[in-house]
Every structure is written in structure tokens, then in C-alpha cells.
Amino acid sequence: MLEKSNTSGSDCEAGSECLKIRAHHLCCIQGFQGYGYSPVFVANLRAVISDIKASPSRPLELVSECDVICTSCPSERECIAQKSIASQRIREMDLVVMEKLKIAEGTVMEADKAFRLINSQLANASDVEEVCGSCKWRQKCLWYMQDER
Ligand code: SF4
Ligand code: SF4
């Protein structure tokens, strides 16, 4: 079952179908093939993905903070605190994506539109490297490995 984000400050209305998603997770979702930080994390990510696939017009709030995927991650506390170099680097990935998509923090858009936008705006290898260059999952990520990347 999909776990709810426990982060605050969401523009998604309480009780709405809106999902808070870190901007760079738009890429990770498309590259997922069953790997992750823990079995609980993988199960939650599967649930998030199947939820979005079942409702492609579901609104997503695009953010640079912890989201519905992070909520089952062993590193969530570290990423919420934003104190480590690693968590700051991850946030930087979100900011790069938002800059390339020309959207502001908290932008809400339908999921299928968000995926179309990111796949059109991050179309070349240098864009992808800018986002994913330091990710340890690159060789297990279908989105990173697709085409000539
Ligand atoms: S390489 Fe890493 S950051 Fe990039 S899309 Fe894949 S899992 Fe996400
Ligand atoms: S490492 Fe941080 S940003 Fe990535 S899923 Fe875990 S908590 Fe979220």
C-alpha cells in the first residue's frame, strides 16, 4: 500500500489525489526495475509507480524535499535534515531538474504531462549527466541507460 508523505508544507490539498514527488524522482520512477535501498523501500516505490500508472492524470506536486518515495527510505531522516553532503547533492538534483523544466518549487501538474515534459527537456546525454552523474544506481536504471546514454 502506498505510504503517505509525512513532510509538511505541501500545496496538495488535504484529502486530494495530489502526490508530492521530488523532481528528480520523475526520472527514477521511469528507470526503476526492482532495485532499491531496502525491501520496504522497493515495495513502496512499486506502489507509488502502480498508483501513478493507474491514474496518469493524477496531479503531482514537484518539490526538492522528501516525498512519498522517501517516506520508506532508510535515509529519509538524513535527507530531511539536509545536513550531509549526500542529501544536499540529492536536493541539487531536484533543483537542476526544476531549472531545466523551467518550473518553480511546488508546481502541480498532471503526472503524464510531467513525464512528457521531463523526457523532452532532458533529452541529451549532458542533461542526464547533470542530474544523474553522481547516482550509484546508474547501471541499474533503465531511464539512465536508455538510448545512447
Ligand atoms: S540514475 Fe539514479 S538519479 Fe538518475 S534516474 Fe536513475 S535512479 Fe534516478
Ligand atoms: S536517498 Fe533521500 S532523496 Fe533518495 S529516496 Fe532516500 S530519502 Fe529520498
* The predicted structure's pLDDT at residue 43: 98
Specify the length of the chain in residues. Answer: 149
- CB atoms inside a 10 Å sphere around CB 120: 9
| Cα-to-centroid distance, 143 and ligand 2 (Å) | 18
- What type of residue is 70? C
Separation between Cα atoms, residue 6 and residue 143, nearest integer Å: 27
* The predicted structure's pLDDT at residue 80: 93
- CB atoms inside a 10 Å sphere around CB 28: 22
The minimum-distance atom of ligand 1 relative to the CA of 132 is: 4
Q: Which residues line ligand 2 (CB under 6 A)?
A: 22, 66, 69-70, 73, 75-76, 79, 90
- φ, ψ at 87 (rounded to 5°): -70, -35
The minimum-distance atom of ligand 1 relative to the CA of 136 is: 2
Give nearest CA residue, ligand 1 atom 7. Answer: 28
* The predicted structure's pLDDT at residue 9: 44
Separation between Cα atoms, residue 32 and residue 82, nearest integer Å: 24
**Top mutation candidate among 45, 130, 141 for ligand 1, by most atoms within 8 Å of CB:** 141
Print pLDDT tens along the chain (149 aa): 455 444 444 567 765 689 999 999 999 999 999 999 999 999 999 999 999 999 999 999 999 999 999 999 999 999 999 888 999 999 999 999 999 999 999 999 999 999 999 999 998 899 999 999 989 999 999 999 986 55
Strands of 19-22's sheet in order across: 19-22, 59-63, 107-110
Find residue 122's DSSP bridge partners.
none
Give nearest CA residue, ligand 2 atom 5. Answer: 70
Return the domain boundaries, the chain: 19-145
The minimum-distance atom of ligand 2 relative to the CA of 70 is: 8
User: How buried is 26 (Cβ within 10 angstroms: 0-12 exposed, 13-18 middle, 19+ buried)?
Assistant: buried
Global pTM reads: 0.91
